[in-house]
Structure 1
Amino acid sequence: MATIGLDKLYYAKITEDTSGNETYGDPHPLAKAMTAELSVELAEATLYADDGAAAVVKEFQSGTLTLGVDDIGVTVAQDLTGATIDGNKVLVSTSEDGGTPVAVGFRAKKANGKYRYFWLYRVKFGIPATNLTTKGESIEFSTPSIEGTVTRRNKVDGQGKHPWKAEVSEDDTGVLPATISGWYEEVYEPDYSTLETA
């Protein structure tokens, strides 16, 4: 179903243990969302046998998340990009900056008034782009955008796989209200405990 809105953009800092497995901190608002564009790259391979394709494999490789936001505050910029806030509360970016990955969550309003919710488990952002325009005869808003690389997380889920995204629509059959109401309380962890076995 088509979406007609975007809001509730959050991020959660990631802490990694010695094996690289992620633990997520509490989600915090990132900024007011204007746009979110997610593009995905797949690793593909085709095995040919008997003059035809015998097997085709397509796996997630990485993605790019581009966010258009109203403003990125200094604390969020520090968390996402590795910039530092000096003693005068000035955000200072250096050539050596390199932010640590974070989880990113948001929701998109569907045409029927319900929402589709997302968590991207590991996103590493670059420096926000700044667009400035002088004031002319008409008012033009200039807003920042920030681009991040989406990768799979290191920690495996209950099926031994490495998720990169969680997505749910609140009007899907069988979705528990607690899943939706708790979406921004913590980064969603896959739960396979109630799956029916054949």
Structure 2
Amino acid sequence: MATIGLDKLYYATITENESGEETYATPKPLAKAISAELSVELAEAILYADDGASEVVKEFKSGTLTLGIDDLKPEVAAELTGCTLDDNKVLVATSEDGAKPVAISFRARRSNGKYTYFWLYRVKFAPPATSLNTKGDSISFATPSIEGTIMRRNKAEKNGLHPWKAEVTEGADGVKAQTITDWYKKVYEPTITPKGA
């Protein structure tokens, strides 16, 4: 089913323990969403045998998330990009800035009025891109965009796999109402029965 909207763009900061496993803070609004473009890069291997492809393996390698937003508040920019907010509330970017990864969530409205919800578990952003134009005969908006690299998270689920994305559609068979109502209260943790249990 087609999507006809995008909203509720949130982020959650990440803290890591000694082994690198993530703990997520309470999600906070990032900005008003204009666009979200998600592209994925796969690692692929093909085994040829008897003059043909015998086995094909495709695994998630990384991804890119490009967000078009209405505005990026200095406090949010500091948390997303590693820039510093100085004592005068001026955002200062340095060549030594190092962004820490965050989790990102948004939802897309479907043509039936229901929503598909997303969590990207580990995204590391670069400083935002800005395009500015002088005012001419007509008014045109200039809005920032920010691009991040999507990575798998370090924390494995119960079968030892490392999620990079969670996605659910409201009203789909078997989806609990609680899953949807809790989506922005905390970063979604997969509930998976271990294999063989």
Scaled to the shorter chain, the TM-score interval is over 0.9
Partner of 1:176: 176
Q: Which amino acid aligns with 1:10?
A: Y
Question: Which aligned runs of 4 or more in structure 1 are off by greater than 6 angstroms?
Answer: 195-198
Given the alignment of the two structures, is residue 52 of structure 1 paired with residue 52 of structure 2, yes or no? yes
Structure 2: 5+ residue runs without aligned partners?
Answer: none
Partner of 1:67: 67
* Deviation by residue 1:31-60 (Cα, 9 ceiling, x = unmatched): 000000000000000001111111000000
C-alpha distance in 1, partners of 2:11/2:137?
Answer: 37
Say if 2:108 and 2:115, in contact at 8 Å, map to a contact too: yes
C-alpha distance in 2, partners of 1:47/1:31?
Answer: 45
C-alpha distance in 2, partners of 1:19/1:197?
Answer: 27
3-state DSSP class of the match of 2:39?
A: strand
Partner of 1:124: 124
Specify whether residues 26 and 112 from structure 1 end up closer, same or farther in structure 2 by C-alpha distance, changes over 3 A only.
Answer: same
Given the alignment of the two structures, is residue 186 of structure 1 paired with residue 168 of structure 2, yes or no? no
Question: How many residues end up aligned between the 2 structures?
Answer: 197
Given the alignment of the two structures, is residue 153 of structure 1 paired with residue 153 of structure 2, yes or no? yes
Partner of 1:164: 164
Structure-1-length-normalised TM-score = 0.97
C-alpha distance in 1, partners of 2:96/2:182?
Answer: 37
Partner of 2:77: 77
Structure-2-length-normalised TM-score = 0.97
TM-fit CA distance, 1:103 = 0.2
Q: Which amino acid aligns with 2:130?
A: T
C-alpha distance in 1, partners of 2:160/2:71?
Answer: 38
C-alpha distance in 2, partners of 1:11/1:132?
Answer: 26
C-alpha distance in 2, partners of 1:196/1:81?
Answer: 39
Say if 2:159 and 2:195, in contact at 8 Å, map to a contact too: no
Say if 2:4 and 2:108, in contact at 8 Å, map to a contact too: yes
C-alpha distance in 1, partners of 2:128/2:192?
Answer: 37
C-alpha distance in 2, partners of 1:85/1:155?
Answer: 30
Where do residues 99-110 of structure 1 align in structure 2 (5 Å cutoff)? 99-110=99-110
Structure 1: 5+ residue runs without aligned partners?
Answer: none
Q: Which amino acid aligns with 1:103?
A: A
Specify whether residues 196 and 115 from structure 1 end up closer, same or farther in structure 2 by C-alpha distance, changes over 3 A only.
Answer: farther
3-state DSSP class of the match of 1:179?
A: helix
Specify whether residues 196 and 113 from structure 1 end up closer, same or farther in structure 2 by C-alpha distance, changes over 3 A only.
Answer: farther
TM-fit CA distance, 1:192 = 1.5
Partner of 1:94: 94
Same amino acid, percent of matched pairs: 68
3-state DSSP class of the match of 1:18?
A: coil
TM-fit CA distance, 1:117 = 0.1
TM-fit CA distance, 1:196 = 10
Given the alignment of the two structures, is residue 26 of structure 1 paired with residue 54 of structure 2, yes or no? no
C-alpha distance in 2, partners of 1:182/1:82?
Answer: 28
C-alpha distance in 2, partners of 1:164/1:126?
Answer: 19
